[in-house]
Amino acid sequence: MNSSTEKNEAVASAVPAEEATKPFQRKMATIEDDDERLLNQIGYAQDMNRHFNQWSILSYAVSVLGVLGSQPATFGVPLSLGGPAGAVWAWLIGSIMSSFTSASVAELVSAYPTAGGMYFVTKSVVPPEHAALWAWVVGWLNLLGQAAGVASVWYTVSQMILATATMNSGFDVDAGVYSYKPTPVQIVLLAIAFLIASGIVCSLTTRKLHQIEMWFGPINVIGTISICIALLTLTPKLQSAKWVFGEFKDGSGWGTGFSFLLSFLSVAWVMTDYDATTHMSEETHNAAIQGPKAIRWSITISGILGWILTVTLCFCIDDFDSVVTSPTGLPAAQLFLNAGGQAGGTAMWFWVIVVQTFTGLSAMLALTRMAYAFSRDGALPFSSFFSRVNTHTKTPVNAVWLCVLFCICMVLIAIGSTQTIVAIFNITAPALDFSYALVILARNIYAHRIKFIPGPYQLGKWQKPINAITFTWVSFISVVLLFPTVRPVTAVNMNYAVAVGAFIGVFSLTWWFAGARRTYTGPRTNARLVSVGDEDGNFVARPDGIDDVATPTVGSEGS
């Protein structure tokens, strides 16, 4: 195989403008060649190795959502706010709306399969004079949203492990408390240890990561189904279907209707980070097809599994008040304890922790690739250092440890203020979803000026209505999720996520106008993409004449 330099030179002179309209049959080209040519034409060199395939990238996409770990970790929020019916129906509706959002995201990133994901797409759907500012805002929303998500996942892993220690400590029946209760310092120190461990894993070669990630999805699916069966079998007394599907509560004080809307906190936190899969595009074979497929299938699989798990947990609630106020600190952990006793409950809870650990590793992987892509475009301080790819592992090791350090600084806040760290974690879903919604909005409002050339995954005639539903839903639910969850509002129960969101906005815009606008030009691309070639490998001429090099095929749906 030719060197990367030779391939880049070959691409630069591959098809002259006058030959672009003529079919050109590739000779023995491989998918690897096509992926690299496509990335070269977008404007980047193939610095990392491609080892992820259709199965490992799907497994990765499922593990990023990590239903078996993330849903039990957040189950107490919708349960306490909207009751069992609030939790059940919020998950169902939220999953359906996530499917719309993921479809919009999948179409956009199919055309531009790079490590930057939706951030990169921005430049190709916004007029040149506005592209840099749009990309800057979208990039920072995505980066900080992902960082908050990674920190929150490892924080919850620590809570889960220490909740296990609480479950297995002595219980004072009279006082109704366990003899052990974790302190904020213990939770934070354990989270830091996991962050460092995740940094070590994410620094491995892409081949190793592919081999590791291959197991994450299947374990998630099998574990979820197995635990649902175990809970329903072992729980002494199950609730009625009428209670599970019809018992709404006003746990917020805002009224039953608004309490139900606040119940979307769980599904919004779990079913997000859709473009995490695209951040692995430069390490995935046939990324323009396999990435979008993985996004769509992971949402479907996780949505169904999450709903089944939510319904199962609600059926297993024998005493609502005792579960919501569980001394373990996690209502789901109490249900496991009630069903399996100390030994059985711990055994089941162990698999929840394992899957949540998978989620933390996968989310960290996406964050590091986004940091690498952002640095590659000169958007971070010391970008030339953080955009380097390690010559041995062929992975962005410098960006990995930048992300580890940043997340450690974030979780350290929890030692001094639980309210502040919760606010930072709560911004994860709105920040990520808005980073997608802004790109989707730009694609539509600038459609008369910028011709979008879709990739292999296309929405066709459904593009406009799906994008309209996506933007409307994200805007609506993000505002709802910034509201305080309990009324009357005090300094203690205030949802400071809105303050964190405002800080992100002020921070990014201040930095932009203070100097970044003079140096940052957006994603550094050579030209806009053309539509991919046909499945026989013929080059296809550009319809808009912007570029003089036609894009080779990156595969077909049947590949």
pLDDT in tens, 474-526: 888 888 888 888 888 887 778 888 888 788 788 888 888 888 888 888 887 65
Least confident of 14-23, 134-143, 170-179, 382-391: 14-23
pLDDT band at 233 (very low <50, low <70, confident <90, very high): very high
pLDDT tens figures, 296-339: 999 999 999 999 999 999 999 999 999 999 888 889 999 999 99
Provide the whole-model pTM: 0.85
In a domain, 11, yes or no: no
174 has a pLDDT exceeding 80: no
In a domain, 33, yes or no: no
3-state secondary structure of 52: strand
Residues of the chain with pLDDT > 90, as a percent, come to: 55
- Cβ neighbours of residue 530 under 8 Å, at least 6 residues apart? 453, 540, 541, 542, 543, 547, 549, 550, 551
At residue 483, the pLDDT reads: 85
29 has a pLDDT exceeding 80: no
Averaged pLDDT for residues 163-170 = 85
In a domain, 27, yes or no: no
Q: Tell me, what CATH number does 142's domain have?
A: 1.20.1740.10
In a domain, 157, yes or no: yes
In a domain, 255, yes or no: yes
Q: What is the DSSP string of 394-429?
A: -S-HHHHHHHHHHHHHHHHHHHH-HHHHHHHHHTHH
Dist CA 392 CA 204 (whole Å): 10
At residue 554, the pLDDT reads: 35
545 has a pLDDT exceeding 80: no
In a domain, 336, yes or no: yes
Dist CA 525 CA 471 (whole Å): 27
In a domain, 22, yes or no: no
3-state secondary structure of 160: helix
3-state secondary structure of 236: coil
Domain containing 134 equals 48-518
Dist CA 307 CA 94 (whole Å): 10
**Domain count along the chain:** 1
At residue 551, the pLDDT reads: 36
Closest CA to 467 of 446, 448, 451, 443: 443
pLDDT band at 32 (very low <50, low <70, confident <90, very high): low
Dist CA 171 CA 166 (whole Å): 9
33 has a pLDDT exceeding 80: no
pLDDT tens figures, 257-299: 999 999 998 898 888 888 889 999 999 999 999 999 999 999 9
At residue 231, the pLDDT reads: 96
In a domain, 550, yes or no: no
The chain-wide mean pLDDT, for the chain, equals 84
Buried b (16+ CB within 10 A) or exposed e, 419-435: eebbbbbbbbbbbbbbb
Question: Are 476 and 130 in contact, with CB atoms under 8 Å apart?
Answer: no
pLDDT tens figures, 108-121: 999 889 988 899 99
- Cβ neighbours of residue 271 under 8 Å, at least 6 residues apart? 65, 94, 95, 98, 299, 302, 303, 306
